[in-house]
Amino acid sequence: METALKENTVQHGLLDGFVDQPAHQAKKFSDANIWQNTPLWGILSEGVARHPTKTAVADPSGALTYADLLQAADEMAAGLQDAGLTAGDRVVFQIANSLSFAKVFFALQRAGLVPVLALPAHGIAEISHFIKLAGAKAYFGSNLDNDGKALNIADALSREFEQQLSHIYIAGEAGKYSTLPQGNAAQFIPVASAPEHPALFLVSGGTTGLPKLIPRTHNDYRFNIQSCAAASDFSSEEVYLAVLPAAHNFTLGCPGLLGALQVGGKVIFTANPSPDYCFAVIEQDKVTATALVPALAQLWTAAKEWENADTSSLRVMQIGGSKLAYSDALAVQKAFPGALQQVFGMAEGLIACTRLNDDEELIAAKQGRPVSQWDEVRIVDDEGAPVELGEEGELLTRGPYTLRGYYRAQEHNARAFTQEGFYRSGDRAILDENGYIVVTGRIKDVVNRAGECIATDEIEEQLLMHPNVAQVAVVAVPDQHLGEKIGVALVKKNLAPTLQELRSFLKQQGLASFKLPDELHIVPSLPKTAVGKIDKKRVLGPDGSPWVNTQI
């Protein structure tokens, strides 16, 4: 363990625009020992102290033990300090699932640098926005598959941020840019950042405009990881397959790769989410845990019909990020017996999940309960008043790992939080008497048809029960007479259904006639967000004309 720790005194504006927990809450969390006042990099250094020679991380290029990973991180951290980056500096981090992800992530933590965790699918618009907003000095990209995308981003950034962006590093083929630096680890002293200050910024999966920055502190993120690891029964035997982008909260810390490392397990990175590839890895490496979005889980479930690989080592298959339809949940339970865990989470904080020993029916039907008893969840009506138990409303939340404000977003924060500091999630949900949550949609996701407000998710849920519907998005289509009409874009299973068939199917299911779809478009695929959720706002073209943007 480290003896001498360098005080992180200079923050270079890190705290400008950071909203922390009120002092009395912070004291309460520390007194209760849920905030442990240790740095995020402790996950790795504690692992080195306990089991240095165990494998920590692997990808197709090789593997590193806990000691190797810390050594590699410290060499890089020393190199970054030599290059003039100092504690509290913000950097934008956009690295694909690989050993480099782990090395750079821990190097940044050891050097006290604060990364914005961009996703590989983000383009120049988002990256440039992150650099501006965070006042970042450095960009870390990866060109591991040699597609040149990171180099194009680097070119654009070096033109746009000639002054501000002093460092660009590329993992893999770096072209004219610097490869990741290496300094002398023996001379290196890790930075002891203040544990109540941001350790990293997650980006919001928001439905409008550019993503916002979500500060996650050492204290809150470690508690997040630890609570999720407990809720998923993570142990030192864990072999975690990082399939979704590692920079997304789900894969990173819920419990994700950091949760697996926290308990002494092993993390395998893959940049290839296809079932044929992943099933082979699961069989060969005896993978025990992974996390998927529903669209990917559907693919994996279907592939079980023809792939013969033995996936029985998979103890927990977490599915979250968007609503897992009940019918899909049943199919997952059949294909991967005993493994389904639904997770309802958000980069902003609150994580809820079903528990592995819950009743199978509950696991299929509900999104779960909070991972910590310190999480506060409220369901409120349009006026912000709490609804009766079992009634639908907007989900608000507050707690020891939920943000108190987006970074540098004062105006937005005034709307996104209540006076008492509850985060308004924008999710519509129902709470049961045991604290389990059923998510019923987004509060704003409605079609206003002739004055009637219709929640699209109810129609989607019903349509997914149809045997020929694989994926579906119900959206508002502008209409001269009705204001908006109900449009359906769907990916078919087997035979394509007609609009008439769907309308009579929905009628049979008991749906009111004003909720029946007006238009149907069969599409080869639906647009997806950077983490692979169906991106409903892109189903409709930018000029308001329907279905132009469905080829992604």
The footprint of ligand OOB (CB under 6 A) covers: 204-205, 249-250, 254, 320-323, 342-347, 351, 367, 425, 427, 439, 531
Tell me how crowded residue 402 is: count the other CB atoms within 10 A of its CB: 23
Question: Smallest distance from the beta carbon of 51 to ligand OOB, in angstroms?
Answer: 27
Q: Which is nearer to ligand OOB, 97 or 322 (CB)?
A: 322
Q: Which is nearer to ligand OOB, 185 or 356 (CB)?
A: 356
Could you tell me the smallest distance in angstroms from the CB atom of residue 531 to ligand OOB? 6
Nearer to ligand OOB by Cβ, of 232 and 367: the residue is: 367
Q: Which is nearer to ligand OOB, 27 or 537 (CB)?
A: 537
**Which tokens sit at 168?**
């660009």
Q: From CA 325, how far away is CA 464, in angstroms rounded?
A: 7
Q: In angstroms, how far apart are the furthest CA atoms of the chain? A: 73
Is 205 or 487 the residue whose CB approaches ligand OOB more closely? 205
Whose tokens are 């630096």? That residue is 181
Identify which of residues 249 and 301 has a Cβ nearer to ligand OOB in the complex: 249
Burial class (CB in 10 A: 0-12, 13-18, 19+), 206: middle
Indicate the residue among 181 and 441 with the shorter CB distance to ligand OOB.
Answer: 441
CA distance 53 to 142: 28
CB 337 within 8 A of CB 315: no
d(CA 445, CA 537): 10
199 contacts 224 by C-beta, under 8 angstroms = no
Closest contact distance (angstroms) between CB of 257 and ligand OOB is: 13
**In the bound complex, what is the minimum distance in angstroms from residue 49's beta carbon to ligand OOB?**
29
Q: Provide the phi-psi class of 156: left if phi over 0, else alpha when psi is between -120 and 50, else beta.
A: alpha
Contact 109, 40 (CB under 8 A): yes
Closest to ligand OOB by CB, 211 vs 265, is 211
Q: Tally Cβ neighbours within 10 Å of residue 36.
A: 14
Tell me: cis bond preceding 60? Omega within 30 of 0 counts: no
H/E stretch holding 141: strand 138-143
- Minimum CB separation of residue 215 from ligand OOB in Å reads 14
And the tokens for 113? 């640098």
Q: Please, what's the b/e burial string for 70-107 (b: 16 or more CB within 10 A of its CB; e: otherwise)? A: bbbbbbbbbbbbeeebbbbbbbbbbbbbbbbbbbbbbb
Q: Which is nearer to ligand OOB, 177 or 234 (CB)?
A: 234
Tell me the β-bridge partners of 138. 91, 167
Residue number with the smallest Cβ distance to ligand OOB: 345
CB 137 within 8 A of CB 163: no
* CA–CA dist 252, 76 (Å, integer): 21
Instruction: Report the amino acid identity of residue 378.
Output: R
Cβ-based nearer residue to ligand OOB, 116 or 531: 531
d(CA 465, CA 287): 31
Of the pair 267, 343, the CB lying nearest ligand OOB is at 343
Taking the complex as a whole, the smallest distance from the CB of residue 541 to ligand OOB amounts, in Å, to 23
Q: Read off the DSSP letter of residue 14.
A: T
To ligand OOB, the closest distance from the beta carbon of 84 in angstroms equals: 33
* Smallest distance from ligand OOB to CB 378, Å: 15
Our CB check for ligand OOB shows the closer of 48 and 346 to be 346
From the CB of 43, what's the least distance to ligand OOB, in Å?
Answer: 18
Give the tokens for residue 281. Answer: 């890895």
Which residues partner with 298 through β-bridges? none
DSSP output for 148-182: -HHHHHHHHHHHHTTTT--EEEEEE--TTSBPPP-
* Token output for 144: 């591991």
Query: Min. distance of Cβ 537 from ligand OOB in angstroms?
Result: 13
The terminus-to-terminus CA distance of the chain in angstroms comes to 48
The one-letter amino acid code at 64 reads L
Kindly report the length of the chain.
Answer: 552
- CB-wise, 44 or 347, nearer to ligand OOB? 347
CB 121 within 8 Å of CB 530: yes
Shortest separation between residue 465's beta carbon and ligand OOB, angstroms: 17
Closest approach, Cβ 224 to ligand OOB, in A, equals 9
At its nearest, how many Å lie between ligand OOB and the CB of residue 527? 16
As a whole number of angstroms, the distance between CA 248 and CA 230 comes to: 20
